[in-house]
Amino acid sequence: MLFAVCETCNAPFSPSIPPPRRPAVSRLEDSFLVLPPLQQHLLLHGTAAGGASGRGDAQALAHVHDKVQHAAALSELGRSTPEEACHLPLCADCAAFVCADLEERAREVGEQHRAIVTALHDERRRAAAETQLHSDLARENARVAKDEAAVERELAELLEQQEEVRAQLGALAADHAALDVEADDFWRRFNAAQLDASERADAQLHHSQLLAHCTRELRRLKGTSVLDDVFDIWFEGAFGTINGLRLGRLPGEPVDWSEVNAALGHAALLVDTLAAAHHLRFPKHTLHLMGSFTKIAHNDEPKTLLELHGSGTLQLGRIFSSTRFDRALSMFLQCVGALVAHARRSASPTLGDAPYRIDDDKIGTPDAMLSIRLQYNQDELWTRALKYMLTDLKWLLAWHTQVTAVATRRLGPAASDS
Q: Provide the pLDDT confidence category of residue 291 given band limits of 50, 70 and 90.
A: very high
Question: What local confidence, expressed as pLDDT, does residue 235 receive?
Answer: 92
Q: Are residues 392 and 246 both part of a single domain?
A: yes
Q: Is residue 83 part of a domain?
A: yes
The residue out of 38, 65, 90 marking a domain boundary is 90
The residue out of 58, 90, 122 marking a domain boundary is 90
Q: Is residue 49 part of a domain?
A: yes
Q: Provide the pLDDT confidence category of residue 272 given band limits of 50, 70 and 90.
A: very high
Question: What local confidence, expressed as pLDDT, does residue 246 receive?
Answer: 95
Instruction: Report the CATH number that the domain containing residue 281 is assigned in CATH.
Output: 1.10.418.40
DSSP string computed for 286-337: EEE--GGG-EEEETTEEEEEEES---TTHHHHHHTT--HHHHHHHHHHHHHH
| Distance separating alpha carbons of residues 174 and 160, to the nearest angstrom | 22
| Percent of the chain at pLDDT exceeding 70 | 74
390 close to 332: Cβ distance less than 8 angstroms = no
Q: Is residue 288 part of a domain?
A: yes
| Distance separating alpha carbons of residues 232 and 31, to the nearest angstrom | 164
Q: Is residue 108 part of a domain?
A: no
230 or 219: which carries more pLDDT confidence? 230
Overall pTM > 0.85: no
- Give the chain's domain count: 2
| Distance separating alpha carbons of residues 29 and 18, to the nearest angstrom | 17
- 416 pLDDT higher than 50: no
Residue 42's Cβ-count burial label (10 Å; 0-12, 13-18, 19+) is middle
pLDDT digits (tens, 9 = 90+) for 43-95: 455 544 444 455 566 666 666 666 667 666 656 655 555 545 566 677 888 88
| Distance separating alpha carbons of residues 71 and 89, to the nearest angstrom | 8
Q: Is residue 104 part of a domain?
A: no
Share the mean pLDDT of the chain. 82
Which stretch of 21-35, 100-114, 116-130, 167-181 has the lowest confidence by average pLDDT?
Answer: 21-35
Q: Provide the pLDDT confidence category of residue 288 given band limits of 50, 70 and 90.
A: very high
* CA count, 13 A, side-chain hemisphere, 199: 5
pLDDT digits (tens, 9 = 90+) for 360-406: 999 999 999 999 998 888 999 999 999 999 999 999 999 998 888 77
The closest of 165, 11, 24 to 91, measured between CA atoms, is 11
| Distance separating alpha carbons of residues 120 and 301, to the nearest angstrom | 160
Q: Are residues 85 and 230 both part of a single domain?
A: no
Q: Is residue 249 part of a domain?
A: yes
- Looking at 224-300, list the stretches that DSSP marks H as alpha helix, in order from N- to C-terminal side: 226-230, 257-277
Question: What local confidence, expressed as pLDDT, does residue 264 receive?
Answer: 96
Q: Is residue 126 part of a domain?
A: no
pLDDT digits (tens, 9 = 90+) for 137-179: 999 999 999 999 999 999 999 999 999 999 999 999 999 999 9
* Structural domain of 301: 226-417
Which stretch of 14-18, 237-241, 327-331 has the lowest confidence by average pLDDT?
Answer: 14-18
94 or 263: which carries more pLDDT confidence? 263
Which stretch of 13-17, 107-111, 144-148, 384-388 has the lowest confidence by average pLDDT?
Answer: 13-17
258 close to 311: Cβ distance less than 8 angstroms = no
Q: Is residue 153 part of a domain?
A: no
Which stretch of 15-19, 110-114, 396-400, 413-417 has the lowest confidence by average pLDDT?
Answer: 413-417
Tally of CB atoms within 10 A around 400? 21
| Percent of the chain at pLDDT exceeding 90 | 56
49 or 13: which carries more pLDDT confidence? 13
pLDDT digits (tens, 9 = 90+) for 19-55: 555 444 444 444 444 445 555 544 455 544 444 455 5
The residue out of 90, 125, 140 marking a domain boundary is 90
| Distance separating alpha carbons of residues 300 and 180, to the nearest angstrom | 96
The closest of 92, 90, 74, 65 to 10, measured between CA atoms, is 90
Rounded alpha-carbon distances, angstroms, from residue 329 to 45, 47, 147: 203, 200, 126
Q: HEC states along 112-175?
A: HHHHHHHHHHHHHHHHHHHHHHHHHHHHHHHHHHHHHHHHHHHHHHHHHHHHHHHHHHHHHHHH
40-54, 204-218, 224-238: range with highest mean pLDDT: 204-218
Q: Provide the pLDDT confidence category of residue 313 given band limits of 50, 70 and 90.
A: low
